[in-house]
A and B are shown apart, each in its own frame.
Chain A
Amino acid sequence: MNSHEAPELSPALAHRAGLSRGELRYQRCAPCSAAVFPPRTLCPDCGSLSLSWQRSTGIGTVYATTVVRGRDGAHNVVLVDLDDGFRMMSRVEGPAPEDVAIGDRVRFRTTADAETADGDTPDGETADGNTAVFVPEEDVR
């Protein structure tokens, strides 16, 4: 064995660990303050390796939206601009897919939260059962 300290979680695993605890995590660059998402080792703005984990407020605004229509019905896909300064793809649960509009204020929750709240399992969850989704802000329970 060598004397290295135990490795930290990789960026992807640290993010996943956050979701499993009901947190939406992103990174903040120490030198340039950029909000970084998806997780990585290097700041895409300034190139620094000094990224620290932050817990997002989970509040954001729908930046773009579409409804994907297939044989199995229709579902919504959005890009959300989080108030913390990063953007992510997600979906808005609750309204009919076509009723989600650009500018809507939305709040993060995980699909595990949704199971608890609604008693059913939404589509598209990751292997660990936790995917970051959004609900209209006024609907937050």
Chain B
Amino acid sequence: MTQSLRGRAAVVGVAESDLGEVAPGLTHLDLIGQATARALADAGIAKSEVDGLFTASSYLPMAAMDTAEYLGIRPRHLDGTNIGGSSFVSHLLHAAAAIEQGLCSTALIVYGSTQRSDGGRLISPTRPDPYEEPYGPRYPLSMYALATSRHMYEYGTTREQLADVAVAARAWAQLNPAAFERKPLTREDVLGSRMISDPLTVRDCCLVTDGGGALVVTSAERARDLASEPAYLLGGGEATWHRNISRMPDLTLTAATESGRRAFETAGLTPADVDVVELYDAFTINPVLFLEDLGFCAKGEGGPFVADGGIAPGGRLPVNTNGGGLSYGHPGMYGIFTVIEAVRQLRGDCDERQVDGARVALAHGNGGVLSSQVTALLGTADALN
């Protein structure tokens, strides 16, 4: 996105569907229906006003049409971009551009998955790469494990530091009634849990849950007339450098370096201006890489940055305040929840886990195997002026 889009669009409604393990028989589209109705109610906007639909699905390759039909809307602008878990942060940037250009005026971004009820395996339309599949990597876990091995080798990052990412997520989740896993978790619990793809244990991996979410986006002008407090889109950036892990140029350096730089440039901000950070934490290595690549610490310093409560409640930087994919929930693709939590923090709606005085929030989506990186910066009216 360009600087001319700074502050031109706002998220005016956010909601989750039922989460965790939903009632038997509910489908991913049923969860999309719940999230949509709740987000529109949150925004104070009627469904009939939605004229732009943005969605991606693990189930349906042409999900935008199925979703429009289910919801009973007839959008004049459809965007079914599917770049994995980052899709929904990308949709937010695309929606802002579409609204600015008059392609639509009220955008709905939605997602739903019943991955847990489906049996817990990752539902994915991804086809295995023929140059990787013969070696039996466990997709996507082994790909992140390979990146972890390289980060440890180059920078001395330790399993203890990674475990502290999971421990911090759990501590935040204990402050969030909507989080799926809220039992106490220690570093020793993580280190002692079952190894799945070295050096990652089951507790280094995100949860497998059901869930859905929705965002309602409209122009800043219109947002000011609505009941809810708008979260303005201040900046954003996207970047993709590879699809398969064997073609990732440097396993310790993600395209978040580029998406983040674009986001900060368009917003006219620096990492020091960010009050709360919501990162796609599919695995414990993700926050380490993204905090480095987005500029919150130097390359190679991510391990010490996250260790010993660095990103836990009361730490140096509030990261994944909902509990993240590691403890709040991870229904196949998590990206939309980074934006939902960022908006709630900016509105001051987060009760026990509220970051005091949050004015600027960063939401970062990751898709594929560290493949797609999308960064959005959101702010309050105060941050906009």
Contact = CB atoms under 8 A, between A and B. Distances in A.
A102 B195 contact: no
Interface stretch (A47-55, A63-71, A112-120): A63-71
Interface of B: 130-132, 134-138, 142, 145-147, 149-150, 153, 194-200, 245-247, 251
B146 A79 contact: yes
A66 B197 contact: yes
Interface string A28-68: 00000000011000000000000000000000000111111
A63 B197 CA distance: 16
Contacts of B131: 37-38, 88-89
A65 B146 contact: yes
Interface residues of A, number: 28
Contacts of B150: 63-64, 102
A87 B142 CA distance: 17
A123 interface: yes
Nearest to B153: A102
Interface string A64-94: 1111111000010111000000011111000
Given A65-B149, A68-B197, A77 B136 contact: yes
B137 A89 contact: yes
Contacts of A88: 131, 246
A137 interface: no
B246 to A, nearest CB: 4
A68 B146 CA distance: 11
Given A89-B131, A102-B153, A66 B136 contact: no
Given A12-B130, A69-B197, A79-B246, A123 B149 contact: no
A89 B246 contact: yes
A123 B137 CA distance: 12
Given A77-B142, A79-B245, A87-B246, A68 B134 contact: no
A98 B149 contact: no
Contacts of B130: 12, 38
Nearest to A39: B131
Given A79-B246, A87-B246, A89-B246, A64 B147 contact: yes
A89 B153 CA distance: 18
A67 B199 CA distance: 8
A27 interface: no
Contacts of B138: 68, 70
B288 to A, nearest CB: 15
B125 to A, nearest CB: 21
A3 interface: no
Contacts of A98: 198
Contact of A131 (B134, B142, B147, B197): B134
Nearest to B138: A68
Given A65-B149, A77-B197, 4 more contacts: A65-B198, A67-B198, A79-B245, A89-B246
Contacts of B245: 79, 89
A103 B132 CA distance: 20
A126 interface: yes
Contacts of A75: 136
